[in-house]
Structure 1
Amino acid sequence: MAGTSKELPNFTSRIAFILVTAGAAVGLGNVWGFPYVAGKNGGGGFMLIYLLALTFVATPVLMAELLLGRMGRASPPTAMRKLQLEARRPEPWSVIMWAGLVGSILILSFYSVIAGQALFYGFEAMVESFHGWTSEEIIAFDAGYKSDIVLMAFWSAVFVGLTALIVSADVTKGIELAGKWLTPVLFVLLVIIVVYSSIYGDMPAALNFLFGFDHLVLTPGVFLEAVGQAFFTISVGVGGIMMYGAYMGNNVNLPKAVTWIVLMDLGVAILAGLAIFPLVFGEGVDAAAGPGLIFITLPIVFAKITGGGIISVLFFVLLAFAAITSSISLLSPTVARLEEAGWKRAHAAWVMSIIAFFLSFLTVLSFNEWSEFYPLAFLGFDGLTAFSLIREGVSNILLPLVGVACAIIVGWRIKKERIMAALPMQETKLFQVWYFCLRFIVPMAITALFINAVFGG
């Protein structure tokens, strides 16, 4: 493989690594996905399961992926192959991360559509403002956008192009620079919107919904969604996090860095809920609006409230920023693998972006021409469009499967002494809890969920 011996660059500092990796974790899963998934699953009960899944399932896998990246110092498939040979194990570990790379491009394909709509809405909010629009006008506006294949494709292409532009630069001038600027700005924008929501919305109702148990719903489906959402929001299972681990300097205390990354990721998810739900409850609209919560329900709210024109611009800029910090991590692993094969970084970035763009038509068409086309209905997936199949298949199946494979490799196939030396870390209580979760909690939790999904109906 040409170029596999090339020395990878490092992020320039610990804070740069934390900001960039937190930016990768913070994305549409937090600002777009978390509020509507929490809304449709009853709020507090889902939040409880989500926190448990994040703490004992997704976070251990996050540290395992970063560790594998640090140990392998290459693109995810190459890193796994190197570690497999070093451990003298017969299993084809690289296959796991090839699946992850496929997942990363599939996620980018629908990410670009959702983020493209955010860019369009932000542009329209700046030009015309949603303030004063009737509910019927906003619903018609959303329907008009989603019925226009060319318009949706254009804004998807704009977003993919921005992603390619950042990733095509070298690591420090592209990925690191974007993360160091965009992640703090994202937090600032979100805090501004939360403050606004606390003034003009119904914050007590939002707090009760997110952290109370008035609408407690605990079903196997909620558990599966919570674990899938935990993996999706923290961006494990597709190789981007492992790639950032490969760029991580030896001066980074990995357990401390992971703690900061998870807290920032969780903070954005909670802040997103506190930004959105007070406005939703303040206007008496349905919190369980599904994906339409962001692009229909919120603009209806923005149209009614004081300063809604300004806050709508801030919100959709925030949504686009959240998407771009994650999309660059989705594109990075495949670009790194092509670089190892002898490609120029810029060529690799643009080629993979073009592939993601063409795949995005599966999502684009799901909102119009294929809105009643269910590709796998004959297998029992009736009612799931191509977009639904990609989103739910990746977040609820592929990401947990790749994540549990990484957990098993770190927990069972690589010697503990090698793991401790690479962290580096002594066998403290924290290490023992993390190692126990990798070896037992993560595999058992995900296995039980999949058994239920297949046989429980």
Structure 2
Amino acid sequence: MARSPGILGNWHSRTTFVLALAAFAVGLGNVWRFPYLLSTYGGGLFMLAYVGALVLLAVPILVAEVAIGGQGRGSPPLAMMWAADRSMTSRSWAAVGLLICAVALMLLVIQVVVSAWVLGTVNDLRLGGFSGASVIDAATQFERLLADPTALLQWQSLFLLILATATCLGIRRGVGVLVWILVPAIVAVLMPLMDFALRHGDLVGTENTLFAIQPLDFGMEAVLFAVVQAAFTLGIGAGVGMTYGAYSSARLPVVRSILAVAIFDCAIGVGAAVAVVPLVLGANLELAQGPALAFIAMPYVFGNLPDGEMYGVLFYALLLLIALGSALALMEVLTAAVKQLLLVRRLTAAVIVGAGVWALCASVTLSLSGFGPLGIPLMQFLDSAVSRLGQPLAVLGVGLFVAWVMHPVLRHDQLARAPELLYATWLLLLRYVSLPVIMALFVVALFH
């Protein structure tokens, strides 16, 4: 069986690979979950635990994903099959690639649905819908948005159209060009938001909440959340590292590139915390996470500050840029898989994926006023299926294959530009730190 390098495309440069992975890694969790975790679980101590989890757990797994992609030069199912062939082991490892695609699909549906919420909220903010509003008014406005499937379906369609267009244009003219725009744009939008928060927020409270060492708030639960946040922020188990790695050059310094992505991700997370926490504390609100923070607390804050509506639009533009970077990567994982498995053109594959995702998103949106399978809302079902089952299993599959099954020569070839000490350290961490911890978390998640 001969490999077909470049069958899916190639990046212009190593920098494009790093930017693409960075655009994916800076997920919405950096804005609506990380500030809450940082303030709740010990401030500086949580930050240290989070950085440790990134370096010791998430980075080794993402390196493993990129190694498989670089070796297989294909979408997750075919990359796993090719790597298994070259390692003279069973092709059944391709099932891990199919599981990865299922994880990517569920994550993409969640991203598109939330992006529709973002577009709907920024439209309300732009029209003055939150001017002088109370917290109850903001919550009512969000409930009204969720109860309007027609508007949400329109916003979802617009967001998916942008994704599909970029994907259809290919790796160089579409995805590659867009990530060069997205990453600088995220930084450019975040900077004035941080300045606004520092001018109008509670600085003393923020310093005591985010950056002070709070040993009483730090414990095993904090460590657990640090590990989970690190895993989600780098998106391990979703196939992005594998797919983007398939487009990279054979001489890519994988470990250093991914460490650069992790550093950028940490910087954006801290910046988002600085942009959010002072404003929430200054408004005498309890810091929340998830939709409660993004779609209730923040609209209330911006609606009651001088120039708040303008900066509120900037805030939701930031969320939209971040969501676009993540969704674009997940869309590419699925498009590459459909293209190779069904042997169709990129345009056809993108249309198939886009149509399927739109139908699933419509089902989720319509279920917000009803119930989905097992008597729970579809959004909650997807989130639970990904976090408790799909993503941990996919991560374990990738980690076990690269650490213990992949032929040592192939594994070493993919990391040839890494110094021997760095390579040995990575393999040691992957085998004896990352995998055992992730196995333990998987067991905890199943029975929690």
With structure 1 as the length reference, what TM-score do the two structures score?
A: 0.90
Q: Give, in angstroms, the shift of residue 420 of structure 1.
A: 2.2
Q: How big is each residue's C-alpha offset from its partner over 1:307-357, in whole Å with a ceiling of 9 and x where there is no partner? A: 201110100011011001111110112211222232121221122122112
**C-alpha contact (below 8 Å) 1:228/1:396 kept by paired residues:** no
* Of 165-174 and 211-220, the range deviating more from structure 2: 211-220
- Judged with a 3 Å threshold, the aligned counterparts in structure 2 of structure 1 residues 39 and 394 are, in CA distance, closer, same or farther, namely farther
Q: Give, in angstroms, the shift of residue 160 of structure 1.
A: 1.6
Matching of residue 417 in structure 1 with residue 418 in structure 2: no
**C-alpha contact (below 8 Å) 1:420/1:426 kept by paired residues:** no
**C-alpha contact (below 8 Å) 1:22/1:265 kept by paired residues:** yes
Q: Give, in angstroms, the shift of residue 304 of structure 1.
A: 1.6
Match runs of 1:17-416 below 5 Å: 17-36=17-36, 46-90=46-90, 92-128=92-128, 130-211=130-211, 212-213=213-214, 216-219=217-220, 222-340=222-340, 341-370=342-371, 375-376=373-374, 385-416=377-408
The whole-number CA distance in structure 2 between the counterparts of 1:366 and 1:90 is 41
Q: How big is each residue's C-alpha offset from its partner over 1:88-127, in whole Å with a ceiling of 9 and x where there is no partner? A: 0126111111111011111111111111111122233233
Q: Which amino acid aligns with 1:321?
A: L
Q: Give, in angstroms, the shift of residue 77 of structure 1.
A: 0.7
* Of 100-109 and 443-452, the range deviating more from structure 2: 443-452
- Judged with a 3 Å threshold, the aligned counterparts in structure 2 of structure 1 residues 52 and 365 are, in CA distance, closer, same or farther, namely farther
- Judged with a 3 Å threshold, the aligned counterparts in structure 2 of structure 1 residues 291 and 219 are, in CA distance, closer, same or farther, namely farther
Give the 3-state SS of the residue equivalent to 2:217 in structure 1. Answer: coil
The whole-number CA distance in structure 2 between the counterparts of 1:276 and 1:266 is 15
The whole-number CA distance in structure 1 between the counterparts of 2:44 and 2:119 is 31
Q: Which amino acid aligns with 2:217?
A: L
**C-alpha contact (below 8 Å) 2:6/2:73 kept by paired residues:** no
The whole-number CA distance in structure 1 between the counterparts of 2:364 and 2:23 is 24
Q: How big is each residue's C-alpha offset from its partner over 1:348-367, in whole Å with a ceiling of 9 and x where there is no partner? A: 11221221122124432453
* Of 73-82 and 401-410, the range deviating more from structure 2: 401-410
Give the 3-state SS of the residue equivalent to 1:92 in structure 2. Answer: helix
The whole-number CA distance in structure 2 between the counterparts of 1:396 and 1:227 is 14
Q: Give, in angstroms, the shift of residue 251 of structure 1.
A: 4.2
Structure 2 gap ranges (5+): none
Q: Give, in angstroms, the shift of residue 224 of structure 1.
A: 4.6
**C-alpha contact (below 8 Å) 2:4/2:73 kept by paired residues:** no
- Judged with a 3 Å threshold, the aligned counterparts in structure 2 of structure 1 residues 258 and 210 are, in CA distance, closer, same or farther, namely same
The whole-number CA distance in structure 2 between the counterparts of 1:89 and 1:438 is 20
Q: Which amino acid aligns with 1:354?
A: A
Q: Give, in angstroms, the shift of residue 387 of structure 1.
A: 1.4
The whole-number CA distance in structure 2 between the counterparts of 1:173 and 1:97 is 26
* Of 56-65 and 397-406, the range deviating more from structure 2: 397-406
Pick one of 406, 418, 436 that aligns with 2:428.
436
* Of 7-16 and 121-130, the range deviating more from structure 2: 121-130
* Of 275-284 and 137-146, the range deviating more from structure 2: 137-146
The whole-number CA distance in structure 1 between the counterparts of 2:127 and 2:241 is 37
The whole-number CA distance in structure 2 between the counterparts of 1:366 and 1:223 is 34
Q: Give, in angstroms, the shift of residue 43 of structure 1.
A: 5.5
Q: Give, in angstroms, the shift of residue 450 of structure 1.
A: 2.4
Q: Give, in angstroms, the shift of residue 47 of structure 1.
A: 4.0
Q: Which amino acid aligns with 2:291?
A: P
The whole-number CA distance in structure 2 between the counterparts of 1:24 and 1:281 is 29
With structure 2 as the length reference, what TM-score do the two structures score?
A: 0.92
- Judged with a 3 Å threshold, the aligned counterparts in structure 2 of structure 1 residues 4 and 424 are, in CA distance, closer, same or farther, namely closer
Give the 3-state SS of the residue equivalent to 1:171 in structure 2. Answer: helix
- Judged with a 3 Å threshold, the aligned counterparts in structure 2 of structure 1 residues 389 and 213 are, in CA distance, closer, same or farther, namely farther
Q: Number of paired residues?
A: 445
* Of 361-370 and 64-73, the range deviating more from structure 2: 361-370
- Judged with a 3 Å threshold, the aligned counterparts in structure 2 of structure 1 residues 38 and 113 are, in CA distance, closer, same or farther, namely farther
Q: Give, in angstroms, the shift of residue 164 of structure 1.
A: 1.1
Q: Which amino acid aligns with 2:219?
A: L
Structure 1 gap ranges (5+): 378-383
* Identity rate, percent: 28
Q: Which amino acid aligns with 1:68?
A: I
